Structure 1
Amino acid sequence: MSDSNKENKSNLPKFKFSSYWIYGAIFIVIIAVQFFSSGDLASKSISKNKFEEILRDNDIKEIVVINKDVAQLFLTAEALKKTKHAKQTSTTFYRPGSPVYEYNFGDLRTFEENIATIKKENNLIVDVDNKESTSIFDAILGFLPFIILIAVWLFFMRRMSGAGGGAGGGGQIFSIGKSKAKLFDKDTKVKTTFENVAGLEGAKEEVQEIVDFLKNPDKYTSLGGKIPKGALLVGPPGTGKTLLAKAVAGEADVPFFSLSGSDFVEMFVGVGASRVRDLFKQAAQKSPSIIFIDEIDAIGRARGKNNMTGGNDERENTLNQLLTEMDGFGTDVNVIVLAATNRADVLDSALMRAGRFDRQIYVDLPNINERKEIFEVHIKPLKLADDVKIGFLAQQTPGFSGADIANMCNEAALIAARTGKKAIHHQDFLDAVDRIVGGLEKKNKVITPKEKKVIAFHEAGHATVSWMLEHAAPLVKVTIVPRGQSLGAAWYLPAERMIVQTEQMLDEMCATMGGRAAEKVMFNKISTGALSDLEKVTKQARAMITVYGLNEEVGNITYYDSSGNDAFVKPYSEETGRKIDKEISKMIETQYQRAIDLLENNKEKLTLLADLLLEKEVIFKDDLQEIFGKRPFGEAEEVEHETIKEVLEKPAVDNTPEA
């Protein structure tokens, strides 16, 4: 057999037996038996005149009235030999002894009187018999509503039981309390390893240690130590918590059970607790093993916070069972529980204590070096041009998570394909950042020349003030192209600081107020375009005063409660509240006036920048340097970011130490 024939044969759909075929075959057999066994198939319906003619000719041997509705006519042996009846008796369906004709007479009493009259007139001897008859098909039709109800009930019972989902479930209703965890072992190996996880060095180190606990337990227990019961991965969405757990499944040579917190939630009482018991029972049978519960906050919320649900809350019962399984009597098996959540603040304190989740591994947003590593992972399948600068892209994406960077790379590929390019260029990545952060470009938005001028001076004001302030983030580009909800935007390259000083925060507030200050300086009028700016500085000022204690008038005090228990309680008096409001307003107005003074002293350069922005719609850092000159602060020299081409062409360095 040729390869092509083999390939075609392998592509043919495989034969699969279904139990529903048996029901269908039985139904077809019943219909066939009813169809072929019935003598009614050979009977021909006749009119009243034809019936009376056959009766007067004395051709009828017997009349059988069925269900007081239809008369079946059986002919005599002499009549069957007559030519006028030969056509009816020569059909395939006719059998000797079966009725030849049928007559639907209507009213039975009138029919009987009519027969009696004809018999008397012609001296006939004809037997008349009455029968009650019901076919199998009629019986099935009678029970059809009940059959449909039973079939619907069976269908929903199978669906509710998960149609075979869950370990050992078999798809039956009795398996509804079984665990729905997916098992990954030597037969179903996960391909994700720690090499696929870029960045997260600290988190990977702790998780690798857990894997090592299970691979070499004697190394730790020989010194009297105990293997930890659980580790909780905490961090913002998209930072790689689930990916890290997949890497554990790929690296560990032990069975790995994976499921979501919502898999325990069911409409039936007690199902969640039953599934927890079954999960830990399976894990204990395959010990040592790992259980991974994603989004554990679905069942791990703090108990007793909402009394409206009553004392028998199903979610609380599930949590109680989980607490018992993780640290109760008879929990000396080597089962480690990994869990992930981005809402650790709502978890129950009993779940977070030592002995249950011994370790909390914080998976933070990646820094600039980690973002560079993440970019290098996600650009591998992409076809890149030589001008792509990975280091610059890592700088351009502060606050981006790993999921955001993956989305950005995909968006850059879509933008390049949309414009008909053969490779993805550096500008496509920058456009992808604009698309993700700012939104889709609104090409059809109607803006009058007057409004456009106000927007241009607003954005030029931001750029000018930030350029003149020492601690403000350096500008990358300014645009008045409307995107999403914004009519214009200024893009900065913020420094990633571990701590922020008061002067730095005040400079950022001043730069934020630069847009409204420019409108005041140039037009002596202000507009509603500074809404997002005002929201930002108000939150920043309130945080400086009430959270970080950076205000001399209020003092070194914070009203922030990290436990989140002050949601409905004001932690300060009315007098302190008035003082805080006064200081917030004073701080913002001071920075607003500072921005106005800066712009008054640089009004000509502000106008040049706004005119250039109206002309080009997008201007970059080089354009600002031509107008303002270099920033008047001693900055560290910028690092030149290597392109993809330069990295590939760089000669290998021999790091072998000399003898």
Structure 2
Amino acid sequence: MAKDNKSPQNKSRFSSWWIYGLILVFLLGFQFLGNSSLSPSSKTTTSELQEFLRNGDIDKILIITNTRQAKVFLTDEALRKTVHEDVVDQPFSLSTGNVPHYVLDYGDLQNFENDIKKIKQENNLDTVVDYTTESSLFSDLLIGMLPFVIIIAIWIYLMRRMSGGAGGGAGGQIFNIGKSKAKLFDEKTDTRTSFKDVAGLEGAKEEVEEIVEFLKNPDKYTSLGGKIPKGALLVGPPGTGKTLLAKAVAGEAKVPFFSLSGSDFVEMFVGVGASRVRDLFKQAKDKSPSIIFIDEIDAIGRARGKNNFTGSNDERENTLNQLLTEMDGFGTNTNVIVLAATNRADVLDKALMRAGRFDRQIYVDLPDIRERKEIFEVHLRPIKTAETLDLDFLARQTPGFSGADIANVCNEAALIAARKEKKAVSKQDFLDAVDRIVGGLEKKNKIITPEEKKTIAYHEAGHATVSWMLEHAAPLVKVTIVPRGQSLGAAWYLPEERLLVRPEQMKDEMCATLGGRAAEKVIFNKISTGALSDLEKVTKQARAMVTIYGLNDTIGNLTYYDSSGQDAYGFNKPYSEDTAQIIDREISKIIEEQYARAISVLKEHKEKLTELAERLLEKEVIFKEDLEKIFGKRPFESQFDTLGQETLEKPEEAASEDSEQPLEQKN
């Protein structure tokens, strides 16, 4: 049996514009039919009028003063004359009053009146001459209603714009502004993402795979007395794949999938957000089993009562209250599961996070080296590579990169290869892409004086020397004095992926960071502004040691960090003024101790520092083997040093001039 190719979408739909068109046609027709000037009255001239008047054929002349028109009414005797046989006695018209037999347009009113008066006196006539003004009913109606029409039209336009556009759709019409804006995905056409497209995230995938299994085979779990979870919250840094994971759920579940953003509930009208929440859950229940995905839920899920300085009613709070009610209101047998994603879980309302609403909180963390390799495998599928790439090598070059960052690296490598007129993407293109993303665009034409270039070379050599000699500093693998982005020089190193950081490790990192300024002091006995980002970094680290992590003996085992965000705006300090002075002194003490330590290390190895700087001035870019030739093997060999034996290992670059910043700190 042949299928009907006509889809419901191709059927013509009734539009409100048809109503507007019919009203306009009716008003225009009323104007034309109701206008007496268009009635079957004969047109005449002033000379003919005077002739008719002399013959005594005219009974009445009605002069319309505001239109310069005269209407002529004949006597009964005149209507029987052959000269007036074409005149209709009472023609059809919608206009009020008697229909004239003749109409004429006169010029000057005074001359027209004098001519009529003269003929009446000469022929002793009793013809009635009357005066009136005439107006159009349509014109009067239009003028009276025009302001209201304009106001209503503007209001309709604004309502359409604010309710999501004038087109058809749930939110497109004025009276549908409270309808949900969720997009319903069709698993056959709208999304083809599956769990195979999601690399890494093994723990998170296991959790959401079980949710999909709940929807596909609920009896497997309910037969044992279990209940289907009501919600799962995906939490993690930006770019780690939270939204991609939700798309994979939509592709795997084979059930209706409603997707929208948290900001879609927010509207300027009171009650709209709550209405859209109700409509969303109503649609989901009607199509159950189904999944609702709310991206960036912190737009409406922020903790109630926070930052509400005016004390007024907050529309977001009403929306959140309705969401809480709906999530805990529908029964467990409706098979509706809510997925949500956010990278700001700390600001969410506690009632939203409790069991029974979001039963599961799935943390989507930055990928480790193994997961980064899997992510590279996914994003390299459409890339035409010139050779078999060492994915382990690429994974080692990108510590701290998220999945979105790795996708950007692959795309940037393809663009760089195309820019160089290559037929395929090579390994060097990927390394250049990492340089480009982390450090910025290379600026070889930047004007730098020889004195500045020498200062930059010693600055970067100071970083390299100190980091090479300290046990817990990250092993440096590449140094350059070629300007890139906002930096005048840069140093790359392979930071250790630590879960716990000890005070001696933080101090070694701070000492290596201050090595650039210390080198300027040792060699030139002068300092410059090039260490701005270095100072910013060490100040943040020292402040964290004292006020957050409790790693300072003077302050003790105290922390002034508020994870709940209650003191986010800093209206009051959680410590006294005396304590603030102690904190300032301890921060300064830690930094100055590490600065003095860096100077001591550089003075001890001043000759090797100078040799390294001279080689850097000569080559502009030096690698790990250059450092080994000058300094020998690193005194503190670790497993992280052996990971990067190949050259060009570069996970990180300075974010501002003449300094470097670990990627793990940046993220």
Give the TM-score band, short-chain normalised.
Answer: 0.7 to 0.9
Relative to structure 1, is the Cα distance of residues 17 and 427 closer, same or farther in structure 2, using a 3 angstrom cutoff? farther
Letter in 1 for 2:594: Q
Give the C-alpha shift of residue 34 in structure 1. 5.8
Relative to structure 1, is the Cα distance of residues 452 and 324 closer, same or farther in structure 2, using a 3 angstrom cutoff? same
* 1:20 counterpart residue number: 17
* 1:291 counterpart residue number: 292
CA distance in 2, matches of 1:614, 1:641: 23
Unaligned runs of 5+ in 1: 1-12, 82-96, 644-659
- Residues 476 and 621, structure 1, Cα contact 8 Å, conserved in 2: yes
* 1:581 counterpart residue number: 584
* 1:71 counterpart residue number: 69
* 1:504 counterpart residue number: 505
Give the C-alpha shift of residue 448 in structure 1. 2.6
CA distance in 1, matches of 2:466, 2:258: 56
Residues 244-263 of structure 1: per-residue CA shift (max 9 Å, x gap): 11111111133222222222
CA distance in 2, matches of 1:217, 1:16: 40
- Residues 276 and 318, structure 1, Cα contact 8 Å, conserved in 2: yes
* 1:93 counterpart residue number: none
Residues 370-427 of structure 1: per-residue CA shift (max 9 Å, x gap): 1222222222222333275433332222222222222232233333333433333333
**2:616 maps to 1:607:** no
Give the C-alpha shift of residue 136 in structure 1. 6.6
**2:371 maps to 1:376:** no
* 1:7 counterpart residue number: none
CA distance in 1, matches of 2:43, 2:458: 96
Residues 410-449 of structure 1: per-residue CA shift (max 9 Å, x gap): 2333333334333333333333323322233445644332
Correspondence 1:546-561 to 2 at 5 A: 546-561=547-562
Residues 571-592 of structure 1: per-residue CA shift (max 9 Å, x gap): 4555554444333323222222
* 1:147 counterpart residue number: 149
Correspondence 1:149-548 to 2 at 5 A: 149-162=151-164, 169=170, 171-184=172-185, 190-310=191-311, 312-328=313-329, 333-386=334-387, 388-442=389-443, 445-548=446-549
Give the C-alpha shift of residue 348 in structure 1. 1.2
Give the C-alpha shift of residue 200 in structure 1. 0.9
- Residues 53 and 119, structure 2, Cα contact 8 Å, conserved in 1: no
Relative to structure 1, is the Cα distance of residues 476 and 177 closer, same or farther in structure 2, using a 3 angstrom cutoff? same
Give the C-alpha shift of residue 233 in structure 1. 0.8
Partner-residue secondary structure (3-state), 2:309: helix
Relative to structure 1, is the Cα distance of residues 106 and 535 closer, same or farther in structure 2, using a 3 angstrom cutoff? farther
* 2:95 counterpart residue number: none
* 1:649 counterpart residue number: none
* 1:628 counterpart residue number: 631
Relative to structure 1, is the Cα distance of residues 442 and 138 closer, same or farther in structure 2, using a 3 angstrom cutoff? farther
Partner-residue secondary structure (3-state), 1:257: strand
- What's the C-alpha RMSD, in Å, of the aligned pairs? 3.9
**2:99 maps to 1:102:** no
User: Which protein has greater RCO, CA pairs closer than 8 Å, 6+ apart?
Assistant: 2
Give the C-alpha shift of residue 292 in structure 1. 1.5
Relative to structure 1, is the Cα distance of residues 542 and 220 closer, same or farther in structure 2, using a 3 angstrom cutoff? same
Residues 78-133 of structure 1: per-residue CA shift (max 9 Å, x gap): 9999xxxxxxxxxxxxxxx98685333256xx541343235546889987565644
Letter in 2 for 1:20: W
* 2:4 counterpart residue number: none
Relative to structure 1, is the Cα distance of residues 192 and 361 closer, same or farther in structure 2, using a 3 angstrom cutoff? same
Residues 16-35 of structure 1: per-residue CA shift (max 9 Å, x gap): 98553564476468658867
CA distance in 2, matches of 1:492, 1:320: 49
The more displaced of 62-71 and 388-397 is: 62-71
Letter in 2 for 1:606: L
- Residues 238 and 402, structure 1, Cα contact 8 Å, conserved in 2: yes
Letter in 2 for 1:150: I
- Residues 182 and 257, structure 1, Cα contact 8 Å, conserved in 2: yes
CA distance in 2, matches of 1:80, 1:456: 113
- Residues 166 and 178, structure 1, Cα contact 8 Å, conserved in 2: no
Relative to structure 1, is the Cα distance of residues 227 and 58 closer, same or farther in structure 2, using a 3 angstrom cutoff? closer
Give the C-alpha shift of residue 336 in structure 1. 1.8
Relative to structure 1, is the Cα distance of residues 424 and 21 closer, same or farther in structure 2, using a 3 angstrom cutoff? farther
CA distance in 2, matches of 1:104, 1:614: 99
Residue of structure 2 aligned with 1:595, choices 576, 598, 605: 598
CA distance in 1, matches of 2:348, 2:470: 43
Relative to structure 1, is the Cα distance of residues 166 and 24 closer, same or farther in structure 2, using a 3 angstrom cutoff? closer
Relative to structure 1, is the Cα distance of residues 216 and 114 closer, same or farther in structure 2, using a 3 angstrom cutoff? same
* 1:652 counterpart residue number: none
- Residues 459 and 515, structure 1, Cα contact 8 Å, conserved in 2: yes
- Residues 39 and 99, structure 1, Cα contact 8 Å, conserved in 2: no
Correspondence 1:133-144 to 2 at 5 A: 133-135=134-136, 138-139=139-140, 141-142=142-143, 143-144=145-146
CA distance in 2, matches of 1:380, 1:59: 104
Relative to structure 1, is the Cα distance of residues 212 and 526 closer, same or farther in structure 2, using a 3 angstrom cutoff? same
Give the C-alpha shift of residue 71 in structure 1. 2.8
Give the C-alpha shift of residue 456 in structure 1. 1.8
Letter in 2 for 1:65: I
Letter in 1 for 2:270: V
Relative to structure 1, is the Cα distance of residues 570 and 352 closer, same or farther in structure 2, using a 3 angstrom cutoff? same
Relative to structure 1, is the Cα distance of residues 65 and 434 closer, same or farther in structure 2, using a 3 angstrom cutoff? farther
The more displaced of 63-72 and 370-379 is: 63-72
- Residues 187 and 251, structure 2, Cα contact 8 Å, conserved in 1: no
Letter in 1 for 2:492: W
- Residues 56 and 122, structure 1, Cα contact 8 Å, conserved in 2: no
Residues 519-575 of structure 1: per-residue CA shift (max 9 Å, x gap): 001100111111111111122122233333334454454443433345545445555
- Residues 65 and 130, structure 1, Cα contact 8 Å, conserved in 2: yes
Partner-residue secondary structure (3-state), 2:385: coil
The more displaced of 470-479 and 14-23 is: 14-23
* Percent identical residues: 71
Relative to structure 1, is the Cα distance of residues 494 and 252 closer, same or farther in structure 2, using a 3 angstrom cutoff? same
Partner-residue secondary structure (3-state), 2:453: helix
